[in-house]
Amino acid sequence: MTERSFVPFLLEMLAPFLVWGAHFGAVYGINGIACARGLDAGASGPVGIAPASLAILGVSAAALVAVGWLLVRALRRAQAGRQHRAEGGSPGRDAVDFARWFAAAGAGAALIAVLWVTLPVLQVPACA
C-alpha cells in the first residue's frame, strides 16, 4: 500500500476554511480600501448598496460557490467511502474516512460562516 501524501491530504481537510479565510480577507480589504479612497459613492436607497458593497457581494457569491462545491465533493467522497466499507473495503482507511468526514463538516461550517459574515453588507452602510 502506498503512503498517502500529506499536503494534498491536509489541503482536502482544510480547503473550506481556507476559502472562508480568503473570503474574509477579501471583503475586509475591499471595504477598507473603498472607504479609504472614497469609493463608496453611488449608494442609493435607505441603506444603499455602494459599488464596493456590490463587489463584496460578488466575492461572497464566488466563495459560496467554492465552498458549496467542496461540500458536494466531500459528501460524494464520504458516500463512496461508506459504500466501499460496506462492500468489505480495504483495511487502514480510517484516516481517509476521517478526512472526508472532516472536509464535509468543515465545508458545512464554512458555508454558514461565509453567509454569516456577508449578512451585514445588506444591513450596514459601507463607510459610515
**Contacting residues toward another protein, per CB under 8 A:** 3-4, 6, 9, 13-14, 17, 20-21, 24, 27-28, 31-33, 35-37, 53, 92, 94-95, 97-99, 101-102, 105-106, 109, 113, 116-117, 119-121, 123-128
> Cβ of residue 11: shortest distance to another protein, in angstroms?
12
> Cβ of residue 124: shortest distance to another protein, in angstroms?
5
DSSP H or E segment with residue 99: helix 94-118
Between 28 and 69, whose beta carbon lies closer to another protein? Answer: 28
Contacts of 126 (CB under 8 A, 6+ apart): 31, 34, 35, 40, 43, 48, 50, 52, 53
Q: What are phi and psi of 50, to 5 degrees?
A: -75, 160
Between 51 and 102, whose beta carbon lies closer to another protein? Answer: 102
What's the CA gap between 95 and 81, in Å, rounded?
11
Tell me, what amino acid is at 102?
F
> Cβ of residue 1: shortest distance to another protein, in angstroms?
8
